[in-house]
């Protein structure tokens, strides 16, 4: 696998655009379009929040179609809690693109991000469609990545190439989200995080959905910025087959390689989200090992990642590992506390459930002064492990979210 500095337009046959439609008061780019030059199969995962935004409802319906070619995205307005008007507006966005690109509206997916409870300025969006479609280019992947941003401070994109048989397949991606981040997304077969993935791999819709389902469980569903689940979380992938590899239609060697590459792209994009978390000064990786099951390891890692007390301690560079064990113990997972070890970096703070005597507090403090903080919890009860990623809580986070809608 080779990592390349690019994004959603890296795979063959994908074009993108990002323009200013006047949705954001800041005047920044706020309307984006992703397009496959040939029909593609698509899969998606959406928020499990009961209060789902209108674009989520429309895309959940449209993803059932056999083929797709476009995704339209707006930032600056979540189109959530707008009732039937919001639903009709989200559907209209797919119709606008369908008409512009000669597609059926069900071949178009839609996503929105921004303030909840404000109606979409649909007239502005409709007026901008000719420019949005006209700007489609293989060189505008970065424009797409920038136009989907809200409170993000940097664009987030990545791509990889992987050999499948004699063919070289490319997977590209772009995402946004630095606040209201605690995704728990599910694929349709069973401030907001949005992810858009493209690939020129030849793969069936069924296996694409399976691959996305595997990858999302170890990536976006393992991050937290503030523990709040968005109403708009969505992750899309389109595969157009232009790499001309042997079609992946079952769980074999090529499926495994493709899925591992997809996991890599999604995990790296996930970490980019956390590193750019609203007001974040620290990036925290939490590894839970020795669990009885993968679900146990994930539950504990996620619980620790949402501990507000720990996140404040990390911001203050206070290696208060007691907050780690308190979070682990409240996860609902059954484990033996008298077996547990806790490491701050490579420094053991807890051994067999007891505080390590003579712990070098100065050394522990220095570990928390670094930009990247590593925490390990070893349950010593099994062979399963999981990793979660989070960031600290700073005064800047409070400042950003105390005036987000003003």
- 226: tokens are 């503030």
Active site residue 259: no
Q: How far apart are CA 145 and CA 346, in angstroms?
A: 37
Contact predicate 46/56, CB 8 Å:
yes
Contact predicate 348/341, CB 8 Å:
yes
Question: What are the residues whose beta carbons fall under 8 Å from the beta carbon of 204, sequence distance 6 or more?
Answer: 41, 247, 248, 249
Of the candidates 163, 160, 164, 296, the one whose C-alpha atom is nearest the C-alpha of residue 215 is 160
**C-alpha pair distances (Å), 63 with each of 36, 57, 99, 208, 343:** 15, 10, 19, 12, 44
Contact predicate 94/55, CB 8 Å:
no
Please tell me which residue in 150, 192, 198, 289 is annotated as part of the active site. Answer: 192
Question: What are the residues whose beta carbons fall under 8 Å from the beta carbon of 33, sequence distance 6 or more?
Answer: 16, 17, 18, 70, 71, 72, 73, 97, 132, 133, 135, 136, 144
Of the candidates 107, 95, 29, the one whose C-alpha atom is nearest the C-alpha of residue 67 is 107
Residue 53 CB neighbours (<10 A):
30
List active site positions: 192
């Amino acid at each position: 696998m080779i990592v390349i500095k690019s994004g959603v337009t890296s795979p063959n046959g994908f074009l993108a655009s990002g323009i200013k439609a006047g949705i954001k008061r800041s005047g920044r780019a706020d309307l984006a379009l992703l397009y496959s030059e040939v029909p593609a199969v698509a899969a998606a995962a959406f928020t499990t929040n009961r209060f789902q935004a209108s674009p989520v409802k429309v895309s959940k319906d449209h993803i059932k179609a056999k083929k797709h070619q476009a995704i339209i995205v707006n930032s600056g307005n979540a189109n959530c809690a707008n009732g039937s008007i919001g639903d009709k507006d989200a559907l209209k966005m797919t119709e606008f693109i369908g008409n512009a690109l000669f597609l059926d509206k069900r071949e178009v997916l839609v996503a929105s991000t921004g303030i909840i409870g404000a109606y979409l300025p649909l007239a502005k969006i409709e007026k901008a469609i000719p420019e949005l479609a006209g700007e489609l280019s293989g060189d505008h992947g970065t424009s797409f990545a920038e136009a989907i941003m809200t409170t993000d401070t940097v664009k987030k994109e990545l791509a990889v190439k992987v050999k499948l048989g004699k063919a070289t397949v490319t997977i590209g991606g772009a995402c946004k989200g630095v606040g209201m981040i605690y995704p728990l997304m599910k694929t349709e077969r069973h401030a907001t995080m949005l992810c858009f993935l493209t690939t020129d791999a030849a793969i069936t819709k069924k296996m694409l959905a399976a691959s996305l389902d595997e990858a999302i469980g170890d990536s976006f569903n393992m991050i937290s910025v503030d523990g709040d689940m968005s109403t708009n979380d969505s992750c899309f992938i389109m595969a157009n087959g232009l790499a001309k590899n042997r079609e992946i239609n079952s769980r074999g060697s090529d499926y495994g390689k493709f899925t591992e590459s997809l996991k890599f792209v999604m995990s790296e994009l996930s970490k980019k989200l956390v590193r750019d978390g609203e007001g974040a000064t620290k990036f925290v990786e939490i590894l839970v090992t020795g669990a009885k099951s993968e679900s146990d390891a994930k539950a504990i890692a996620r619980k620790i990642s949402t501990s507000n007390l720990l996140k404040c301690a990390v911001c203050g560079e206070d290696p208060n590992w007691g907050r780690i064990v308190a979070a682990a113990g409240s996860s609902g997972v059954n484990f033996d506390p008298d077996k547990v070890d806790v490491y701050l970096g490579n420094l053991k703070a807890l051994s067999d459930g007891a505080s390590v005597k003579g712990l070098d507090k100065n050394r522990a403090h220095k570990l928390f002064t670094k930009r990247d903080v590593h925490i390990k919890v070893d349950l010593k009860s099994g062979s399963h492990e999981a990793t979660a990623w989070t960031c600290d809580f700073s005064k800047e986070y409070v400042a950003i979210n105390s005036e987000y809608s003003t």
